[in-house]
Structure 1
Amino acid sequence: MLPNLQPEEKELLMFLLSQPGSLDQYVAYPGFQAGQQQLFSVQLQLPAALPSLKDAFLACAITVKQLQAGTAMDTDTTFSVHYILKAMDALRSLSVLSSQDAVLCHALGGLLAFSISSAIGVGVPDICRHCLGTTTQFVGTTVSDADPWKSFLILLDTMDCLVYRRKPILRIRVPSSVVVDCRLGLCLPLLPYYHDLCVISNSILNTTDVGILARLQKQLDEIHCLVEPWQPSHLDQLVEQFDSAEIVHLLAQAKLYRLGALLVGHRLRFPFGQEDAQAEIWSKEVMMELEIAKRVTKRSMRFVTLPFIIAAVEVRDKSLRIKTLERVDDCVDHFAQFLQKATKTFLSRVWHERDLNLTTRWFDSIYKPCPVLDSVTASLL
């Protein structure tokens, strides 16, 4: 075990590294937990990585222990924030001069993003953009099993950019060797399309040129033609690696992200009031997929926040809206507790604006900030 640790810190790390189920909220699939614990153990044994990662791991350990069902711990947010602030200092002082440094930066940023989402609720997009922008020249745009945090940071950055109509830092390339991601499952090949949708959304927002707008609409048509028939690859390998419940979730998650991309493209092409029937069909498919997967597996899906919110804004029936709000805590990432609360407020406001014709698209909401990532609630003010 690591030197210079207090007894309670050693206990926290032992919990994180060895207790079964400790990473239930940290990865999407139980089959990845042991591998992630082994990765943590290896990283904590690296002399070069230890000074930078120790406090981030402790913050993460506090977070997952608080999130674990039935675990009682006399730890308040102040205790977690103490380690988060020290890890933030480590991130600021980290010099990225090699690909190894880049992987370390991604790990530090990912651990911080996870912990901050639970303990504080604001600042995650800034961390993601810092880490991805600082490391690109050393690791390029390709994701790999050796750098599992990169895809997590890209997902969080993409989510934020989708809401605020900004351009994401990075458009990834997914090599065929990367089959299943520990959080995004089979969905990694869809992230580049979400990136492109963010870029198009930003371009539409910042131009009035008819020729450019026509070109952007053509790009949306092209993305639709690519995403609509998309299916995950390497399905024959799933049976050997995952149990039946995990396979159900893997396939459902892939379908959700595919439908989410179709819905975003649809709303960039058509405002509320136009082609609503198609949007409602895709929205209902998302909700049905979530419900069926939970009924079959008796377990909530992880890391489906993005497609759930994209689909939820399309719900128009008042009784279904009530049911959708009730499902937020189940479908929005459990580790992001501030996000769960803010999502309910956000959906209620967007539905209200839509009913009164105050907005034409959910990402044009007059209420800012929109709480897909950088959520601010009254309790923080």
Structure 2
Amino acid sequence: MSLQQGSLTHPCQSRRLTTHTSPRALRSCDRCHEVRKRCSFEGNTDICHRCEKYRIVCVTTRSRQRLGRRPKNMSFCPSSAVQVWELKGLYSGNHRGQDDPRCNSVAENPKPEGRQLENVIGMATFEIAMGLFMFGPSFAHDFHAAIGHLYSTSTLLLQDIYIAILSALQKTRYNNGSICGDDLTKGASSIRKLRTAVITTYQDAAAVTMLGQGIAAFDMLASGTKSNMLLRYSLTLIRPWYSALLRNPSLDPITITPIFWDTVDCLIRREVPIIKFSTRDPQLVDRVAGLCSTLLPILQELCVASYNTKTQRYPNDILDPFTGIEQKLLSWSITPPLDITKTYSTSEIRGMRTQALMYRASGLLLIHRLRNPLGIKDNVARSYADNIVLELLGYLALAKPDERLPNAALPLLLAMLEIPGLPKGLWSKINTPWICITKLCAFVEFIWTARRNGFAGLWFDLVDQGLDFVILP
């Protein structure tokens, strides 16, 4: 795939609009097509003026119509019986048909969507579309390069899910309609590809890793009910290849995120993460996990201990399996790389530090609640929850009015479960899709209703009754 980076117009240059400078100008994008306008471009950018103004993805997803007049169904002469457009069926026995696997090659019959996708994922558009999955624009280049490389080597596998995600992000971010029709069809097609995927090389494993988290992300935006199952299935497929993927630093943007996501979900469901996280560099910074690369293994230990406690796999002589993990969390500290201020913006660094401290407090709160049912030592749980909220408020105090903290849904959820009457407006301060926030709020209300009705057990035991979606990082 040839990824085109959108060029920027210098401020001193004139902002002259033209309708023919872009290769896509012959066909209007979806937004301009809706208002019966042609795309106008500034300079040599691939984003039209209207989409840039409203900060939406500039994409053309509608199919091309057949050019020319519709043929009349008539014979050329009295003795003729078959029209030219009917000859395809006559040769089905002697020529390769659509069911022949050799006909599925993009090189032989490239889909129009694939060509559109190459134009859509320019760097400027990419930063807008994928902002939900990054701490900030400083992560865009490596993430952009990783998914672009995978698309170029595994086009048939990834094309549908790439287009579906771009469309879903546009609709959810700007409330531009519901996710349905072609988007859901492409999502279903991608699930079938994941189910039948066969991995023979580590490049195959990398593509399946991207496919799995892409499907999970699309499900999160569409319904948010089966993302964890789909993600965990893909991680099961690539687990034998994880050590090979780990040796390639360029794949970090697509290998760390699904493991972090799975771990966060396992913390709530008391399950064991599919892949045990390891890293080449303790100072690694990730687009979603941020500065938590050394915290993530401790959280995975907590998942295992919680699962073993739930399934009663510990010997009777072990009084408290969480003591060692608790000490690790108490002694843990952020270890940023020395050049972090040169690589990332002040806002990104502040956000990653806040996220890491919120997750540390979340781990301590989870351990406390695994030891103590609701109603027991609630004041200690409240102090951990207060620390989470104070970290968030400290971040917001220095943030811009429209700035939201990425990847902090789990800590805020845990705080909401402990602090009664915590303003629901705090949900709007984290960068999480509204479909997920709505279900998070419903789960919080479900737990508080149970508490008011006298429930005095572990709230983890209520997860399967009141949680029908995936916990996001």
Whether these two folds match at TM > 0.5 is yes
* Aligned amino acid, residue 270 of structure 2: R
CA distance in 2, matches of 1:208, 1:21: 47
The answer to whether the 8 A contact 2:135-2:290 is kept is yes
Q: Which residue of 1 aligns with 2:417?
A: 313
The answer to whether the 8 A contact 1:125-1:160 is kept is yes
The answer to whether the 8 A contact 1:207-1:213 is kept is no
Aligned length: 360
* Aligned amino acid, residue 356 of structure 1: N
Q: Which residue of 1 aligns with 2:275?
A: 170
* Aligned amino acid, residue 236 of structure 1: L
Residue 159 of structure 2, aligned match among 29, 33, 54 = 54
Q: Does structure 1 residue 240 correspond to structure 2 residue 342? A: yes
CA distance in 2, matches of 1:204, 1:296: 41
Residue 44 of structure 1: how far off its partner (Å): 2.3
Residue 141 of structure 1: how far off its partner (Å): 9.4
CA distance in 1, matches of 2:315, 2:141: 54
2:390 is paired with a residue whose SS is helix
Shifted more, 102-111 versus 285-294: the winner is: 285-294
Deviation per CA, 1:251-294: give whole Å up to 9, x if none. Answer: 10110111111111111122222222222112111112112212
CA distance in 1, matches of 2:158, 2:314: 48
CA distance in 1, matches of 2:202, 2:360: 32
Q: How do 1:181-192 and structure 2 match up within 5 A?
A: 181-192=286-297
TM-score, normalised to structure 2's length?
0.70
Q: Which residue of 2 aligns with 1:24?
A: 131
Residue 237 of structure 1: how far off its partner (Å): 2.1
The answer to whether the 8 A contact 2:351-2:405 is kept is yes
Residue 315 of structure 1: how far off its partner (Å): 1.0
Q: Which residue of 2 aligns with 1:304?
A: 408
Q: Which residue of 1 aligns with 2:233?
A: 130
In the alignment, structure 2 segments of 5+ residues that lack a partner are 3-105
Moved beyond 4 Å, runs of 4+: 9-13, 72-75, 141-145
* Aligned amino acid, residue 285 of structure 1: N
Percent identity between matched residues is: 21
Q: Which residue of 2 aligns with 1:107?
A: 210
Q: Which residue of 2 aligns with 1:65?
A: 170
Structure 2 vs 1, CA of residues 354 and 237 (structure 1 numbering), >3 Å: closer, same or farther? farther
Of the two structures, which has the highest relative contact order with CA contacts closer than 8 Å and spacing of 6 or more? 1
TM-score, normalised to structure 1's length?
0.86
Q: Which residue of 2 aligns with 1:378?
A: none
Q: Which residue of 2 aligns with 1:6?
A: 112
Residue 329 of structure 1: how far off its partner (Å): 4.0
Residue 13 of structure 1: how far off its partner (Å): 5.1
Residue 5 of structure 1: how far off its partner (Å): 3.0
1:188 is paired with a residue whose SS is coil
Larger Rg: 2
Structure 2 vs 1, CA of residues 291 and 141 (structure 1 numbering), >3 Å: closer, same or farther? farther
The answer to whether the 8 A contact 1:156-1:373 is kept is no
* Aligned amino acid, residue 446 of structure 2: R
Residue 45 of structure 1: how far off its partner (Å): 2.1
Residue 354 of structure 1, aligned match among 451, 463, 466 = 451
* Aligned amino acid, residue 344 of structure 1: C
* Aligned amino acid, residue 5 of structure 1: K
CA distance in 1, matches of 2:196, 2:313: 42
Structure 2 vs 1, CA of residues 182 and 287 (structure 1 numbering), >3 Å: closer, same or farther? same
Q: Does structure 1 residue 119 correspond to structure 2 residue 218? A: no
In the alignment, structure 1 segments of 5+ residues that lack a partner are 376-381
> What RMSD over aligned residues (CA atoms) do the two structures have, in Å?
2.6
Q: How do 1:1-381 and structure 2 match up within 5 A?
A: 4-6=110-112, 10-11=115-116, 14-18=119-123, 19=125, 20-46=127-153, 49-69=154-174, 76-140=179-243, 143=246, 144-176=249-281, 179-207=284-312, 211=316, 214=319, 217=320, 219-298=321-400, 299-316=403-420, 318=421, 320=422, 323=423, 325-331=424-430, 333-334=432-433, 337-365=434-462, 368-371=465-468, 373=470
Shifted more, 264-273 versus 49-58: the winner is: 264-273
CA distance in 2, matches of 1:63, 1:237: 36
Q: Which residue of 2 aligns with 1:379?
A: none
